[in-house]
Amino acid sequence: MRTARIGLLFALLAAWMLAATGCVSIHREKQVTVFADTSLKPVLDATAAELQKEDGLTLHIRYDGTAALQAAVDAGARTDLLALGGVSASPRGSYTFGSNAVRALMSAHKVDNYVNIAVGADGSAYSVTKPLSSKNYAAAQMVVDFLLSKKGVHLLEQSGFVME
């Protein structure tokens, strides 16, 4: 009898821990908070509509300049996905090519690995990364995967960007 009670206690504790950490998402709406450079607004607005329609994923997007968003994340602002731009110090095709702001946050251990999604006509590189403070990696990865899909690439091209 005592063993059964201990087993039940452990099962309840495990269920509570899964629910508290967000591993179980029964009836939970999928939402992602995105901080993005204003240059990416046309792309991300269209992306948000597509992801809402296809996957039920809601994007809450804050648009601002790269420097302001970089400062916010550096100061501890929480977001699930970060899309920043800026002229890269490295040539295209180099493994260090990408947003200098994202690379600086990576050096400060504020963000995870990044992926380059686009290059603007002025040579600005736009990179997407997931901040280390985010607990919403799976849903944020859905946005990254969409941006790298055929539909996402098409949206980028329509907005005047080219893929890296």
In whole numbers, what is the pLDDT of the chain averaged over residues?
84
Distance CA 112, CA 84 (A): 14
pTM above 0.75, yes or no: yes
- The answer to whether the beta carbons of residues 120 and 73 sit under 8 Å apart is no
Give the tokens for residue 5.
Answer: 């009670």
Region of 160 on the Ramachandran plot (φ > 0 left; ψ -120 to 50 alpha; else beta): left
- The answer, yes or no, to whether residue 24 has pLDDT greater than 50, is no
Distance CA 21, CA 19 (A): 6
Distance CA 153, CA 158 (A): 9
Is it true that domain 27-158 has CATH number 3.40.190.10? yes
Distance CA 4, CA 97 (A): 58
Q: Give the contacts of 72 (CB within 8 A, at least 6 positions apart).
A: 35, 64
pLDDT at 9: 55
Q: Average pLDDT for residues 13-27, to the nearest whole number?
A: 52
Angle between helical axes of 150-158 and 137-148 (0-180°, round to 10): 70
Q: Average pLDDT for residues 92-121, to the nearest whole number?
A: 88
Per DSSP, 91 falls in state P
Q: 161 or 64: which carries more pLDDT confidence?
A: 64
Distance CA 8, CA 100 (A): 52
